Structure 1
Amino acid sequence: MYHYVISGLRVESDHAMPGLIETDSVAGAPDVRLRRGEVPTELAGSTISGPTWQMADGQFLLHIPGIVRMVLDGGTTITWECEGETRPEDAAIFVTGSGFGLLMHQHGRSILHASAIDVGGRAVLFCGPSGAGKSTLAAALAAKGFGHVADDQCVLSALSGGSTLVHPDGRSHKLWEQAIDKLNLLDRSGPAVRSELRKFYVQPGRASSAPLPLAAIYVLAEARVPDLAKGERVAITPLNLADAALMVRANAYRPAMVERLGQGGLYLETAAAAMRAGGVFRLTRPMAFGDMEGVLAALEAHWQDSGVMERVA
């Protein structure tokens, strides 16, 4: 058996899951089990469905056509089955990504599509859709000495009072070949995320294993034309609560599930918690590697000005 800790949950798997950071076995039953096995094409008693998914009482069936089917049962088990000639290593990213993210929605947890780093003992999150540069930005900051917290999923807890906590997602960085080269991370590069992609798992240098208090959330945006205020290359703009609530909900791991499961209030609560912690900001920047140092410098200056670097939980 293989053992992992994902978003604060102890996970046991009967198959090695590339990209997850393996941990020692711990006493007691795991919170979640990942199992390879037979998965139906339809759920009996399905009450709600979409093009590639079905929901029944306590169960969720997800179909990635031609790659994998998986069924989430009771929030405690994910059983998955490869389709066609798909290698298990190529299906694993969907099980631990989409599958586990949906399991968190099933648990009623607040989960954002975000990477995160450790700044002064607190977690700074970078939200955005796939391709927004979340992993690359987090890896670039990790290369400068900031600790790795999450690559793709951030689960938040203790939203209603005290310090809101961000749970490490237990994943390695996922970086394109160009990013690995530019950040000089070839020595930590591992297997491909999928066999047909030039995107690879990269072991983080220093990773958090315990939850950290939330410091701030940055929503990533690309500067497509040089029209930022005063000719700046990077802009960091604070959002008010109304805009922050919209952005946080839009960056839930699966926004459609938030709607389907009636969890909108949870993400309003998340936005309010983020505003209390330090704020929600829009980070507009060029995505070219030639501009990366300027982006990192702007972030560090913002953390110094806002006191994030001095506040240690």
Structure 2
Amino acid sequence: MRQLQRRTFTVILAGAGLAAAWSPLARAQAAGKKLVIGFAQTGAESEWRTANTESVKAAAKAAGHELKFSDAQQKQENQIKAIRSFITQKVDVIILAPLVTTGWDTVLKEAKAAKIPVILESRNVVVKDTSTWTTFIGSDFVEEGRRAAQWLLDNTKNTTGTVNIVELQGTVGSDPAIDRKKGFDEVLKGNARYKVIRSQTGDFTRAKGKEVMEAFLKAEGKKINVLYAHNDDMAIGAIQAIEEAGLKPGKDILVIGVAAVKGAFEAMIAGKMNVSVECNPLLGPQLMEAAAKAAAGQTLPRWIKTIEGVFPAEVAAKEFPNRKY
């Protein structure tokens, strides 16, 4: 197949940051009562997750709330233990970033029985009783997958031949991994020219992304035209593997990532990555506002979406100074 050429792509949504101004009501509630909030985080597996944690901690401090933080180190059982500990401590609100979508029914029922509202952040859950959680604050992962695929279609439409794609999936069973694959496949469906020839989990980590990409390269070699990684950390790890194989990332193999972290912008500026679909981790302000409302017994929307864009390499240098994560 002819070498795939990059083309300019316009940013879908201007503005990478999440302003999330507090409403006067939420400010009054936060000022009137210091909340004790339990936060069950997945871990610190990526730049994105670290920025997410820092955002929540900073927002809680700014609001004057006490945050009880638990790092699950990528283990669901640790998150379940943390939630039960928060229930025992009688916190006002629980924030959960679920590692995977299933396996939460029992512990969320326990939180509901204790009359503690649970706010899901960054990832969603699948439970029989949806009244066990209050709201989900996070991204539209299916749309992120669609945007990644649409960029690929737009930037390869003037090429000929089969486009062979390898995919680095996120953590098995996690909401973003399931939905980013779904959205990507949805857009490419019916277009026989685009083929996903290898797809395997890289567990959202840089080291695993490199390891799996090495295996892809050994199996498929120069047949690979495109890498689609479910997050930027895996993409950056894969870039190392591509270079070690004697190929040029961003040229010999187009590299598509998700998250739009600083590391991705640095890779794009260096010409080693082609595009990153934003997934904003700075959810702290939105979470604190929702926590104040939930603690006050207010009804919240089932899904509070974050504002995100798409950043191709052509705009990376200009946008880099604006990045906060």
Structure ranking higher in strand proportion: 1
More helix by share: 2
When normalised by structure 1's length, the TM-score is 0.23
Larger RCO of the pair (alpha carbons < 8 Å, separation 6+): 2
Larger radius of gyration: 2
TM-score (norm 2): 0.22
